[in-house]
Amino acid sequence: MVSATPLNNPDPLTAFQALAYEPYVLFLDSADTHHPDGRYAFVMCDPVEIISSNFDRLQERLALYPKHETIPDLPPFQGGAAGLFSYDLGRSLENLPNIAKPTTIPDMFVGIYDQVLAFDLRAGKGWLISHANKDKQQALLDKLGCHPEAQPKDLRHGSFASLKMTTFEPDVPPDQYKANIGRVINYIKDGDIFQANLAQRFSAPIPANFDPAAHYLKLRAHNPAPFAAYMNLGNVQISSASPERFLHISGNHVTTRPIKGTRPVCADADENTRQMNELISSEKDRAENIMIVDLLRNDLSKTCTAKSIKVPELCKLESFASVHHLVSTITGELAPDITPLDVLKHCFPGGSITGAPKIRAMEIIEELEPTRRGAYCGSIGYIGFNGAMDSNILIRTLSFEQGTVSFSAGGGITASSDIEAEYTESLDKAKAIFESFY
């Protein structure tokens, strides 16, 4: 039976610091509380089990747990499946070429969490929502410092080193990346695709005592984002300052909010206004966005009722910590007997970070990006026992594995792309990540 215990300290960051080194900790972090979607945060650890195979296996395991009604007036995730769906999980859905070098990051790493610390940031309240017994509930509360003898951890003084931009090496030289952009443009002119998302990957060695959890505190402070996340997979850690929602389900209503079109945020007010106006009036960026809207409308049509798919917002300007974006909103109503995992499976990976048509774009990505994407452009999110779902697109995302930190940045290439401008856009997106290590 599910229960909800109010927390004395309704601060998700304090809870994360207390639990940062617990097994398989996951922090779904609305770090940008000024954003309309930045309302809820969730911290969890010590899952009942881990599923690391594929969507079908997760569907089978999740079906074994009873579906629970939502406790009213509490945050929507009240226990269930949560974790990582890597970009390369898409290989289990489609027959793709095997060209790029693989990473060590698992295609899927999803826990079944029977306890979640849930926070409503607007209300300033938090709860331990639990399906576990009283002893397990008390053990978690003790780790939060609710027991007089407990000593919560403080990550603020942890070691995250200082890595300069020059420490990071791209996986291909700038000239090669620009040439690859040109090859995508040629594919478009030849009629293979309308658009493809092409990224360059940066990596750097990190000291043996480097603490990814401590670094995450700096990342979220420097580049707050409404769909930020941190997850410890054991040998791998993922931290993300993502501004992009992938799929959100409440009841039978599904929403996706793809981002396409970028300009930098500038300290000078006049220049900042110029960048915003340039983005709003850009035919290229608008066309790029609309292509992905059409792709996602098609993806949602596989699991939604006929004529229910709407586009209430098209190419809306939204500003984040380091960049301005064009964001669209697509909604739909789920068909009978459709599960959240069905929706995720039919939309994965997200169209905003693949291209159109999706499969051919993914083939070109595999050809031109020398290393597999791993977590990048996949998703972190939750699927609740109550049927609720929310997930991000893993952009502005760092992977820590085998003594190395890596991340990727890129953009959508269209027939009207300017190669130098696309290269500059990728660096604009990477800038805040580089700066988080200073």
Please report the pLDDT score of residue 145 as a whole number.
Answer: 80
Q: Give the Cα separation of 27 and 124 in Å (integer).
A: 17
| Reported pTM | 0.94
Q: What is the DSSP string of 157-198?
A: GS------GGG-EESS-HHHHHHHHHHHHHHHHTTS-SEEEE
Please report the pLDDT score of residue 148 as a whole number.
Answer: 42
Burial class (CB in 10 A: 0-12, 13-18, 19+), 39: middle
List per-block mean pLDDT (blocks of 10 residues) for the chain, which spans 438 residues: 93 94 96 93 98 94 90 97 97 94 95 98 97 96 68 54 74 97 98 97 90 93 95 96 97 97 94 97 94 96 96 96 95 97 97 96 98 98 97 97 95 95 94 90
Q: What does the block give as tokens for 71?
A: 């406790």
Phi-psi category of 96—alpha, beta or left, where left has phi over 0 and alpha has psi -120 to 50? beta
Longest dimension (CA), the chain: 69
Task: Determine the straight-line distance between the first and last CA of the chain, rounded to whole angstroms.
Answer: 47
* SS3 sequence of 17-44: HHHCCCCCCEEEECCCCCCCCCCEEEEE
Q: Give the Cα separation of 76 and 120 in Å (integer).
A: 10
Please report the pLDDT score of residue 1 as a whole number.
Answer: 83
Q: Give the Cα separation of 231 and 213 in Å (integer).
A: 9
Closest listed residue to residue 425, CA positions, set 230, 240, 288: 288
Q: Give the Cα separation of 67 and 343 in Å (integer).
A: 18
Q: Residues with catalytic annotation?
A: 244, 260
Q: Show the CA angle centred on residue 178, arms to residues 174 and 183, nearest 5°.
A: 145
Please report the pLDDT score of residue 161 as a whole number.
Answer: 55
Q: State phi, psi for 246 to the nearest 5 degrees.
A: -95, -75
Non-local CB neighbours of 153 within 8 Å, separated by 6+ positions: 17, 18, 20, 21
Please report the pLDDT score of residue 159 as a whole number.
Answer: 55
